[in-house]
Amino acid sequence: MNPQDPLANLRPLREPDLIGWWPLAPGWWLLSAMLLLCLVGLVYFLVKRYRANAYRRQGLAQLQTLRQQYLAKHDSSAYVTQTNALLKSVALCSYPRHEVAASNGEQWLTFLNSRMNNAEQFQAGFVTAAYRKVCPDMDMEQMHRAAQMWIKRHEAAQ
């Protein structure tokens, strides 16, 4: 009889090397290519949208300039007239010329208000005030908010 344990003579098992992350499996290459393609598409879409909305940013900046001039001079007639002209030029950038250029009066007011919800619409006297020398009593803050919301939120024609 052998008093020794025969298992004590065994050496420990050799463990295999850990599996490395490089080179990547084909599935990871495919996933990386798809992610890169999606990222390029997203950047393209965002740049295209940013450029397409440049007229909005410019219109909002001009509206802010008009408001500063109004607050300095308190000439409401000029403010309404210039705001109306600004809205017309913004509309010409995003809608067909035949739909916007010739519209005035109630037709122009309907055009503006049809693209806004009821709480933010222009007052009925907005278009008539734009053509008068003396501006009737209008809420200039409400008109400014309505113009600002229209420039920001109108849906451009495709």
| Total number of domains constituting the chain | 1
In the chain, % of residues over pLDDT 70: 95
Q: Is the pLDDT of residue 140 over 70?
A: yes
pLDDT at 34: 98
pLDDT at 136: 67
Q: Let me know if residue 129 belongs to a domain.
A: yes
Q: Helix/strand/coil (H, E, C) string of 71-82?
A: HHHCCHHHHHHH
Q: Let me know if residue 31 belongs to a domain.
A: no
> What average pLDDT score do residues 110-123 get?
82
**Residue range of the domain that includes 93:** 54-153
Q: Is the pLDDT of residue 1 over 70?
A: no
Alpha carbon distance 22, 26 (integer Å): 11
pLDDT at 30: 96
User: Which contiguous run of DSSP H or E holds residue 94?
Assistant: helix 76-94
pLDDT band at 158; cut points 50, 70, 90: low
Q: Is the pLDDT of residue 89 over 60?
A: yes
Alpha carbon distance 74, 58 (integer Å): 23
- The predicted-structure confidence for 49-65, as pLDDT tens digits, reads as follows 999 999 999 999 999 99
> What average pLDDT score do residues 15-31 get?
89
User: Which contiguous run of DSSP H or E holds residue 149?
Assistant: helix 140-153
- In the chain, the amino acid numbered 133 is K
Q: Let me know if residue 41 belongs to a domain.
A: no
Q: Let me know if residue 22 belongs to a domain.
A: no
Q: Let me know if residue 95 belongs to a domain.
A: yes
> What average pLDDT score do residues 29-36 get?
97
> What average pLDDT score do residues 12-17 get?
86
> What average pLDDT score do residues 26-34 get?
95
Mean pLDDT across the chain, nearest whole number?
87
Q: Let me know if residue 24 belongs to a domain.
A: no
CB environment 32-71: b (16+ within 10 A), e (fewer): eeeeeeeeeeeeeeeeeeeeeeebbeebbebbeebbeebe
Q: Let me know if residue 4 belongs to a domain.
A: no
